[in-house]
Amino acid sequence: MFNISSWRVRTRLTVGFSVVCALLVASVLMGLMAMGRIGADLNAVVSHHFPRIVMSSNIATQTDVIAIALRNMMLTYDAGDRERQLQVIQQARQESVKLLDALDKALSDPPSRALLEKVQTQRALYLAGQQELINLIQSDHADLSRDYLTTKLRPVLAAYKTAIGALVEAEKDAIVQAGTNAQETALGARAGLIGLGMVALLAAAVLGWLITRSLLRELGGEPRAAAQVARTVAEGDFTQHIAVQAGDQSSLMAQLATMKSGLAQVVSQVRRSSESVAMASAEIAQGNQDLSARTESQASALEETAASMEQLGATVRQNADSASQANALARSASDVAVRGGEVVGQVVETMKGINESSKRIADIISVIDGIAFQTNILALNAAVEAARAGEQGRRSAEAAKEIKQLISASVERVEQGSAMADQAGETMTEVVQSIRRVTDLMGEINSASAEQASGVAQVGEAVTQMDQATQQNAALVEEMAAAAGSLSSQAQELVQAVAVFKLDASLGGNGGFKPPAPRSAPRPPATAPATAPTTDPRPCPTLLPATPPITAPDAVPTPVWPRSIVTSRTLSTVPMRTICSRCASPAR
């Protein structure tokens, strides 16, 4: 036996309605065939038999008209009246001829044609008798006319009317037979239609029961129940209980129950995920706001740092210029000191010559002292002579004494000058050596100042790049904050959209989402002091690994940001030194 449950719904309905429609078509065809046969019989009666009967009856009527006119013609003696009756007879004859011609055309079956020929034969005899009687009447043979009418013409008329009656009876029999055939056809059609109707009714009932049972088995319930379940699920209500028969796992209601359970779990997970996303996006938005504020503060601090670095660079450049000038002056002083050393050397040599001369003078003086000792007597004599000489003698003695003292003092001073010249030579040698060392140190200071100026210029350029990057980062952070705010709004809209669904308490109920409380604004950073802060020379243990050194802006790769954040401008990044997470000092 075929399994109707394995058919598709379209196939089941198509087969069911096709069977019923086929039975209905068979019933209709049977009725149409019966009606066709009945119609044919009725058409034969109406179109053939009944007109023949009418025409035959009309022929009989015209025959009666002729008989009455003959009788009236025989009874009257008025010529005009006889003429009128004769005209009636002529008209009746013409009408009979027309009717006979019509019958001759209408009759086609042999029995009817035989009856028509008999009628025509009897009519010919009757016409001959009529003419004979008319001749007798017109000859005024009344007695002969009556005798001819009663004895000869009436039997011919009776035979003629009998032939016409036979034709009429034959057509009546045909009408009766057509009615009998139509009745039999109607009875057969009624029986067939009743049978086909019963079969169609039984087939419709059986197919309807089978299709309904299979559909209800597949639906698992009434269609309106499935529609109600679909409506409640479409409205987001997953709390409705779906009644499913025991062991039913493949029906539509069972699948709807499974779908409702799965959708409830999915909606519950989506709700939890959307609440988590909303919470995270709200925190991200708040964090981005804080980051935006900190970035703005950092940008302002970097601007101040850039300005300070420009001032520091100017100071360092000025120091480098001063160091260059000092180096030039030191070199000039070194040259002067060298020349002074040479002059002092010459002075020392001169003092050595003077010292030797003074030594020779000293020897001369010692000789003079010996001579003076020997000439003490002469002095005494000179004194005597001076006394004698008076005032002029005393002055000469005093002058000689002063010359002696001056010579002694000159010798002592020459010795002291020689000693001081020796010390000055040694001191100038040390001064020249010190100035050379100072010159070397100033050269080193000049080189260091140049390197420091170059380094400060690089640091200033790096700080400027950091300032630009920080400003770009600030703009990017603002865009990220706006994107995070938009994401938070969309997440809250998603939460509100998901909140439409009603869930069982076992799946999380209908709890709402509460956004996190806004955090307080971050404290603005302290203004950088005018002087450089003192740092601990010891390395910080919490410093993170230092980043690569700062490179030129052209060598810095451009990061690829998300399409929803980055605008039309291209952002460049500058590597920054690692900042200590404990003491906020830059890593060295």
The DSSP secondary structure of 368-435, one letter per residue, reads: HHHHHHHTHHHHHHHHHHHHHHTHHHHHHHHHHHHHHHHHHHHHHHHHHHHHHHHHHHHHHHHHHHHH
Asked if residues 11 and 207 have their Cβ atoms less than 8 Å apart, the reply is no
pTM of the predicted model as reported, rounded to 2 decimal places: 0.38
Lookup: tokens for 569: 């401008």
Tally of CB atoms within 10 A around 408: 13
Beta partners for 237?
Answer: 502
How much of the chain is helix, strand and coil, in % rounded to 5? 80, 0, 20
Asked if residues 136 and 124 have their Cβ atoms less than 8 Å apart, the reply is no
Asked if residues 4 and 206 have their Cβ atoms less than 8 Å apart, the reply is no
257-527: CATH superfamily: Methyl-accepting chemotaxis protein (1.10.287.950)
Which residues have CB under 8 Å from 33's CB, separation 6+? 189
* Closest to 59 (Cα-Cα) out of 15, 138, 123: 123
List, by residue range, all CATH 1.20.120.30 domains of the chain: 4-219
4-219: CATH superfamily: Aspartate receptor, ligand-binding domain (1.20.120.30)
* Closest to 77 (Cα-Cα) out of 21, 136, 142, 135: 142
Asked if residues 564 and 483 have their Cβ atoms less than 8 Å apart, the reply is yes
Lookup: tokens for 149: 């009418």
Tally of CB atoms within 10 A around 443: 14
Q: What is the pLDDT of residue 291?
A: 82
Asked if residues 245 and 220 have their Cβ atoms less than 8 Å apart, the reply is yes
Q: What is the pLDDT of residue 446?
A: 78
Q: What is the pLDDT of residue 468?
A: 80
Q: For residue 471, give Cα distances in angstroms to 155, 302, 465, 571.
A: 145, 9, 10, 10
Distance CA 440, CA 447 (A): 11
Asked if residues 253 and 244 have their Cβ atoms less than 8 Å apart, the reply is yes
List, by residue range, all CATH 1.10.287.950 domains of the chain: 257-527
What angle, rounded to 10 degrees, do the helices at 154-219 and 9-44 form?
170
Torsion of CA 148, 151, 152, 158, to 10 degrees: 130
Lookup: tokens for 446: 């000049």
* Closest to 409 (Cα-Cα) out of 356, 362, 369, 451: 362
DSSP 8-class letter at 221: S
Per-10-residue mean pLDDT of the chain, 588 residues long, equals 64 76 83 80 73 83 87 83 88 87 81 84 86 83 82 88 86 83 83 83 81 72 76 77 69 75 80 80 82 82 81 81 79 76 74 72 69 62 60 61 71 72 76 78 81 80 81 80 80 73 63 56 47 44 41 39 37 40 43
Asked if residues 498 and 264 have their Cβ atoms less than 8 Å apart, the reply is no
| pLDDT tens sequence across 85-104 | 889 988 988 888 888 888 88
What angle, rounded to 10 degrees, do the helices at 391-498 and 252-374 form?
180
The residue count of the chain comes to: 588
Distance CA 235, CA 263 (A): 13
Asked if residues 320 and 449 have their Cβ atoms less than 8 Å apart, the reply is yes
Asked if residues 418 and 359 have their Cβ atoms less than 8 Å apart, the reply is no
Distance CA 469, CA 27 (A): 93
Distance CA 516, CA 181 (A): 98
Distance CA 535, CA 268 (A): 56
3-state secondary structure of 237: strand
Q: What is the pLDDT of residue 316?
A: 78
3-state secondary structure of 522: coil
Tally of CB atoms within 10 A around 229: 22
